[in-house]
Structure 1
Amino acid sequence: MTLETRRKLVLVVIDGLTPQMLEASLEDRSLPTLAALAEHGTLGRAATTFPSLTPVCLSSIATGAHPDVHEIPHLVWWHRGERRLVEYGSSFGAARVAGLGRTLRDTLVEMNARHLGRGAVTLFESLADAGLETAAVNFTAYRGRTLHRSSVPFLGRVRGPEQFFFFNLFQAGRTGAPLSFRNRARGSIDAYAAAVGRWLVTRDGFDFLLFYLSDYDYASHLAGPDTARTVLARCDAAVGGLVDAAGGLDAFLDRYAVIAISDHGQTAVRQVARVADAFRHEPETLVAASNRAAHVYRLGDSAPVVRRLAERLDREPAADVVLFREGDTFVARREGAELCMRDSGAGVALEGDPAVLDQPDAVARALAALRCPNAGDVVISAAAGWEFADLAGKHHLGGGSHGSLDAGDSLVPMLTVGLDGPMPSSVVDVAPLVLRHFGVEAPGYGARRAA
């Protein structure tokens, strides 16, 4: 197949959708569009990155890299260069504590303009460099080659895909889509995305479209994982709108290959911890916590050594796996047992109890989290059922959350239609798959993983 005859590609990301929820819904035929796509494709499961939080996961999907390359460590983190907290919107309360204007600008502009690593290359950049037209709807890891001016002067200009549509704040064309933030609880954000997606498909206005639906995760946070069936049905209808805009399923699949995934899973929250309390008497120590992961930063020489900080969590029931680095050794600690990881030249040499990291793809994900230049000196993965309160003390008790290494937070559905090659086993395999489909060489880090 030549580049001229190769199908275009639509990548659908449904935030927070768990594999079991998708599989059960496909079985009972409550998702007609996704069920029809599954009949023409291959359905599987894959692991996401760690921490399994939306900014980290979406950056991994966009770049084909873990945080050691894309450098986005969490929803909230300490910027060592600027000596301040970066908060991407754990909650409205957390945004107010961090500074509402600063949070908005960090989330909407700076994450892509300054925080996303220079060594990482997004799908939008790689495909644009190859002369292909890219499009994105509401996707927050959007860095591309085309300059766009916001309708809100405060946000200025950013570089994104050629066809860039982002919550009415950046719009590459007049689509007639409704306001995205008019009533999120009733699905206004995904309604905006659905309208823009239909507009793009009607015009066949892209080679690659990243179509992001976020309302399912929002609803699951409130009511718990695998409960938001009504919202998932709306997601299916939004994808169905793309199919209808192309003239039906056969016409849609004649024109487009499809990947449908989630960025992370979710698990139920039964207890909440203020993990900063474990360090309240430690000098020059800062905790950045949100959802089901946390980072502990040493801010000066008077802070305790890293091992001591890690051992402070031995009696903390909310902490499951505690990760830290000692020289050239990476350590995972769990219930007093340790697993040491070292680069051996021929791979990663392990010493200790392998059960410490028995979660999906856990060694690779733990190493990447610790190697992220913006990570804390200690990284914490929450125990089952626990969530860490954010800067404002907000949490999702009685609902759902994510962020940990746990399988429930970390496994995502993976549906591919019309693509050659093996099923991706990780979200970082998605970008190389997309690039290979278009005959575009992956960045060096992606090419090494694919090999």
Structure 2
Amino acid sequence: MRKTAVIMLVFQIMTVVSGCQKPNSEEQDLRHVKSIQDDNSPKVILLMADSLMASAIDEGIRQKQLPTFQFLIEHGQYYKDVVSSFPTMSVTVDSSLLTGKYADVHGVPGLIWYSSDKKRIINYGTGPMEVFRQDVDTVLTDALINLNGSHLNRKIPTIYEDLAHIGLKSGSINGLVYRGKNDHVLSIPEWIQVPTTLKRDIQVKGPDFLAFGALSNPLDGKVNLAQGLTNRMGMNNDFSVKSAKYLIQANKLPDFLFVYLPDLDRKLHQKGPSNLDGVKKLDGQVNNLLQSFGSPEQALKEVIFVILGDSGMTQLLPADQNPVIDLPVMFEGVNILRPGETATDQTEIVLAVNETMGYVYKLKPNRSLQNLADTLSRDERIDFIAWQEKNWIHVIQGGTAKRFKYKEKGNMIDCYKQSWTIEQDSGVLDLKVNADDGRLEYGAYPDALQRLASALHSHQGDFMVVTAKPGYELADSSSPTHKGGGGHGSIRQTESLVPLIITGTNRKPEYLRMVDLKSYLLKLLTQ
């Protein structure tokens, strides 16, 4: 089950009854979305392809199966090593892209995490079993109201809010993070029986144009969009591409349009990252979009295209090779918070699993994070465990118990001009240290010090980060697993480095990190 299709995950496990959906009237989107700038002003279309990997692009081009990607690369810039955020889950990645900040600032720690204020697990929609156990009403509230309304730091503007401030128009198609300045309504379809206390119509804030599957379709009656139950409620590439095509052909493009393409992720979770079927289909869909301008060549003259993956994937071992690390078994005899329950005085720890990464929270003062980390580190399938004590972040390598610690500010400078103090075995995070000139370089864990620190500072609580070695994934009692398929969430290269293709401009990004792309996009739009 796809990690980010929150609405599809919830709706697919509900009962379908006869009836019709009330038309979603959002004509104001089409009246106000078109850019008011002159025709020579830059426009940007950003295509975010979930789990798109450079290795798949390169192999597909080698096999002469990806003519559209090849065309775009030959006529633009192609980077294979943009560093995603951490954990490498879509809600966190999108939040970093659209705010220009890591999770310590934007406040969305992962697809699933624990709120010490609410004393419950926050789940935006992981798998059907977790949704049922967590309570459908609570998951819908977190996904549809709280994610954009309160969890995403209100003090940090999104790119949509920044653009509105300077008078530029923007739009989001199927983006999970979409907070903007304009009023919109998400409407839960009547033909679905929803066991929830939520109102049918939910007021939200978004960009000038907001399309969000069957919940917000400003093109209802204008374009035949795949938005039924069998089409994942519109959370699919066909919905996204056709919506964007309409804006292009109707001459209603905003200055900035974010288009989320979710289908590839689901395919790779099932088949593994080496499967090329999904990226071949994506190639045709991108070509279809380019043809909306008359030809791909004309498209590149009129619009700056940015195509981006959000995270990579690791091939997981088949079921017979024990690829799932069952965390409750490792903490046998400990009182663990169950999904859907509220923590009590008897609750000792909480688990929040994001596929190959997880948060482990301790609620009892008589337990130490060091103690819990020692328990986990004995399993050779664990990559590392990290937690913070005072100003220091401690890291233990799984299977070896090698230790490393670091803190912000110091005499070591990385390639992003961030300074650190480091001690003990830097090899735990595969750091290359040059003591002579005070430089350090990242190896298997890109921008590891900042990204790990951001996760550990992303929300309140006494917790640690756990990651699995390649081939393995973590699990709680009801977590979805992907044995023999693909998984992500961790901080390693394979899951962290994503491709970036840019056409229509010679301006280059200063740094190849997801968190730095917002400022780059704003420069493109205001140059």
TM-score relative to the length of structure 1: 0.91
Identity within the alignment, %: 27
Given that 2:127 and 2:479 are in contact with CA atoms closer than 8 Å, whether structure 1 keeps it comes out as no
Aligned counterpart for 1:226 among listed residues 252, 270, 274? 274
Q: Distance in 2 between matches of 1:402 and 1:325?
A: 23
Secondary structure of the corresponding residue to residue 97 of structure 1: helix
Instruction: Kindly provide the CA deviation profile for residues 397-425 of structure 1, in whole angstroms up to 9, marking residues without a partner as x.
Output: 11111011121111111111133133641
In structure 2, give the amino acid aligned to 1:172.
P
The equivalent residue for 1:18 is 53
The equivalent residue for 1:348 is 420
Q: Distance in 1 between matches of 2:493 and 2:473?
A: 15
Given that 1:184 and 1:215 are in contact with CA atoms closer than 8 Å, whether structure 2 keeps it comes out as no
C-alpha distance 117-7 of structure 1, shift in aligned 2 (>3 A): same
1:390, CA displacement in angstroms?
4.3
Aligned counterpart for 1:196 among listed residues 233, 243, 260? 243
C-alpha distance 187-171 of structure 1, shift in aligned 2 (>3 A): closer
Alignment of 1:32-181 (within 5 A): 32-44=67-79, 45-152=81-188, 153-154=199-200, 156-174=202-220, 175-181=222-228
Q: How much is the aligned-residue C-alpha RMSD, in angstroms?
A: 2.2
Q: Any gaps of 5 or more consecutive residues in structure 1?
A: 441-451
Given that 2:235 and 2:262 are in contact with CA atoms closer than 8 Å, whether structure 1 keeps it comes out as no
Q: Distance in 1 between matches of 2:155 and 2:360?
A: 25
Q: Does 1:316 align with 2:363?
A: no
Aligned counterpart for 2:470 among listed residues 364, 384, 393? 384
Instruction: Kindly provide the CA deviation profile for residues 369-409 of structure 1, in whole angstroms up to 9, marking residues without a partner as x.
Output: 11112576111111111111245143001111101112111
The structure whose Rg is larger is 2
The equivalent residue for 2:395 is 332
Given that 1:62 and 1:431 are in contact with CA atoms closer than 8 Å, whether structure 2 keeps it comes out as yes
Q: Distance in 2 between matches of 1:218 and 1:379?
A: 25
The equivalent residue for 1:285 is 349
Given that 1:14 and 1:261 are in contact with CA atoms closer than 8 Å, whether structure 2 keeps it comes out as yes
Given that 1:9 and 1:258 are in contact with CA atoms closer than 8 Å, whether structure 2 keeps it comes out as yes
Moved more, 120-129 or 415-424: 415-424
Q: Distance in 2 between matches of 1:181 and 1:405?
A: 35
Q: Distance in 1 between matches of 2:379 and 2:422?
A: 26
1:3, CA displacement in angstroms?
8.6
Given that 2:349 and 2:363 are in contact with CA atoms closer than 8 Å, whether structure 1 keeps it comes out as yes
Secondary structure of the corresponding residue to residue 200 of structure 2: helix
Q: Distance in 2 between matches of 1:68 and 1:102?
A: 24
C-alpha distance 201-29 of structure 1, shift in aligned 2 (>3 A): farther
Q: Distance in 2 between matches of 1:375 and 1:74?
A: 15
Given that 1:135 and 1:210 are in contact with CA atoms closer than 8 Å, whether structure 2 keeps it comes out as yes
Instruction: Kindly provide the CA deviation profile for residues 148-199 of structure 1, in whole angstroms up to 9, marking residues without a partner as x.
Output: 0122243511111111000120123434232334334899721111111111
The equivalent residue for 2:509 is 422
C-alpha distance 289-375 of structure 1, shift in aligned 2 (>3 A): farther
C-alpha distance 182-234 of structure 1, shift in aligned 2 (>3 A): farther
Instruction: Kindly provide the CA deviation profile for residues 220-267 of structure 1, in whole angstroms up to 9, marking residues without a partner as x.
Output: 10111121x232222222222221112212221122111111100001
C-alpha distance 370-292 of structure 1, shift in aligned 2 (>3 A): same
C-alpha distance 233-115 of structure 1, shift in aligned 2 (>3 A): same
C-alpha distance 393-250 of structure 1, shift in aligned 2 (>3 A): closer
In structure 2, give the amino acid aligned to 1:439.
T
C-alpha distance 188-360 of structure 1, shift in aligned 2 (>3 A): closer
C-alpha distance 25-51 of structure 1, shift in aligned 2 (>3 A): same
In structure 2, give the amino acid aligned to 1:169.
L
TM-score relative to the length of structure 2: 0.79
In structure 1, give the amino acid aligned to 2:402.
A
Q: Distance in 2 between matches of 1:277 and 1:57?
A: 30
In structure 2, give the amino acid aligned to 1:95.
V
Given that 1:55 and 1:74 are in contact with CA atoms closer than 8 Å, whether structure 2 keeps it comes out as yes
Aligned counterpart for 1:235 among listed residues 262, 265, 282? 282
In structure 2, give the amino acid aligned to 1:129.
H
Q: Distance in 2 between matches of 1:171 and 1:255?
A: 26
Aligned counterpart for 1:410 among listed residues 480, 493, 496? 496
Aligned counterpart for 2:520 among listed residues 409, 425, 433? 433
Q: Distance in 1 between matches of 2:277 and 2:508?
A: 34
Secondary structure of the corresponding residue to residue 313 of structure 1: helix
Q: Distance in 2 between matches of 1:84 and 1:62?
A: 27
Given that 2:255 and 2:525 are in contact with CA atoms closer than 8 Å, whether structure 1 keeps it comes out as no
Q: Distance in 2 between matches of 1:396 and 1:187?
A: 24
Moved more, 281-290 or 125-134: 281-290
1:433, CA displacement in angstroms?
0.7
Alignment of 1:211-222 (within 5 A): 211-222=259-270
Given that 2:509 and 2:520 are in contact with CA atoms closer than 8 Å, whether structure 1 keeps it comes out as no
Q: Distance in 1 between matches of 2:302 and 2:516?
A: 23
Given that 1:414 and 1:424 are in contact with CA atoms closer than 8 Å, whether structure 2 keeps it comes out as no
When the two structures are aligned, how many residues end up with a matched partner? 437
Q: Distance in 2 between matches of 1:65 and 1:46?
A: 15
Q: Distance in 2 between matches of 1:297 and 1:114?
A: 22
The equivalent residue for 2:299 is 252
The equivalent residue for 2:344 is none
